[in-house]
Amino acid sequence: MKIAIAGAGAMGSRFGMMLHQAGNDVILIDQWEEHVSAIKHNGLKAIHDGETIIENIPAFLPKDITDYHDEIDTVILFTKAMQLDDMLQSITSILSEHTTVLCLLNGLGHEDTIKNYVAKENILLGNTMWTAGLTGPGEVNMFGHGSVELQNIHPKGQDAALELVQVFNEAGLNCKYSEDMMYSIWRKACVNGTLNGTCTILDANIASFGSTSVTDEIIRTIIHEFALVAKHEGILLDEEEIVNHVKSTFDPHGIGHHYPSMYQDLIQKHRLTEIDYINGAVCKKGETYQIATPYCQFLTQLVHAKEELLKAK
């Protein structure tokens, strides 16, 4: 399959690497010049569970993608939430009526942005429990195991969705066709809503956050707030199952050593975060539905305060 990764940061590099290793025709698109240049000159380097792998994968800056004329079967969107609109604007030249676009970003509401650029028949929504971190230009650290879920938003997109599930599984990405992707998106939003802001403010990885005496109460309260709001949108979250799902990530032999992407952004790189698309989105919806979401609100405020203190950009 001919696949373009739109946003070849930590996760885009991981997926690009695994899909390329499985024999797909992959291209990477990213605006970070040093990163693209390093991949062009030295290949994409990954430390995969301690072992170094290098793959030569074509990499492009967005300004150069307009010169690219091969038909792309699938675009995988992997920017941060606040970068999605700009990315879609810069890749319109590679989107044909036969191009399927899969969104794997964390957070809520991305379909509204994508619908401005892509026909509904061509949109797939998904999410992933894989993790990754960039260690420098052209270098990605990938450890632990994960999974992917995806689904078409229009019945006409189902064949493309099922084909992509197969391509992902051939690449070892452990992918499942979701029968209810909006539920899956809210379930993953609960993972990020309980772990990303908290680990960022506490300067902790997932396992450390999981080890405190107050963690259980924090995650239950946040998940309850998500569930109250989701219910207003017709999505009935199984809170107990989701609490256990979040706790399953604490295992230090699994992905417990992962520092969430929000931590990587704000604490390590002084970048603005996706908090407004996770806990912040739940607060905003809560205001509309007149549901109090005090833990989500406080966490959103703390993360924004930290962004200010660190002069995040």
- Among residues 74, 100, 151, 192, which is the contact residue for ligand AOT, using CB under 6 A? 192
| CA of residue 194 relative to chain centroid, distance | 15
Angle, CA 128 vertex, CA 292 and CA 154 arms, to 5°? 85
265: which DSSP letter?
A: I
Residue 231 appears among annotated catalytic residues: no
Amino acid at 185: I
Among 31, 100, 106, 151, binds ligand AOT (CB under 6 A): 106
CB 24 within 8 A of CB 97: no
Q: Is 105 in the site for ligand NAD (CB under 6 A)?
A: yes
* 19 is a site residue for ligand NAD (CB under 6 A): no
Query: What is the residue whose two structure tokens read 């300004």?
Result: 63
Q: Which residue has the tokens 């001919």?
A: 2
Q: Which does 225 bind (CB under 5 to 8 A by kind): ligand AOT, ligand NAD, none?
A: none
Pairing between β-strand 51-55 and β-strand 44-48 as defined by DSSP bridges? antiparallel
The single residue among 3, 4, 5, 12 that binds ligand NAD, judged by CB under 6 A, is: 12
Least distance CB 93 / ligand AOT (angstroms)? 29
Judged by CB, which is closer to ligand NAD: 90, or 169?
Answer: 90
Cα dist. 110→34, 107, 117, 264 in Å? 28, 7, 12, 22
Collapsed DSSP state (helix, strand, coil) of residue 7 = coil
The 21-50 site mask, x for binding ligand NAD (CB under 6 A), equals --------xxxx------------------
Judged by CB under 6 A, the residue of 72, 142, 191, 296 near ligand AOT is 191
Q: How far is it, in rounded angstroms, from Cα 174 to Cα 114? A: 25
Tokens encoding 307: 């962004």
Site residues for ligand NAD, window 232-271 (CB under 6 A)?
Answer: 261
Q: Which among 188, 163, 156 has a CA at the least distance from the CA of 177?
A: 163
Q: Check binding of 102 to ligand NAD (CB under 6 A).
A: no
Q: Which of ligand AOT, ligand NAD, none does residue 193 bind to, with CB < 5 to 8 Å depending on kind?
A: none
Which residue among 31, 74, 200, 261 contacts ligand AOT (CB under 6 A)?
261
Nearer to ligand NAD, 34 or 159 (CB): 34
The residues of the shown chain that bind ligand NAD, judged by CB under 6 A, are 7-12, 29-32, 62, 78-81, 83, 86-87, 90, 105-106, 128, 131-132, 134, 261, 274
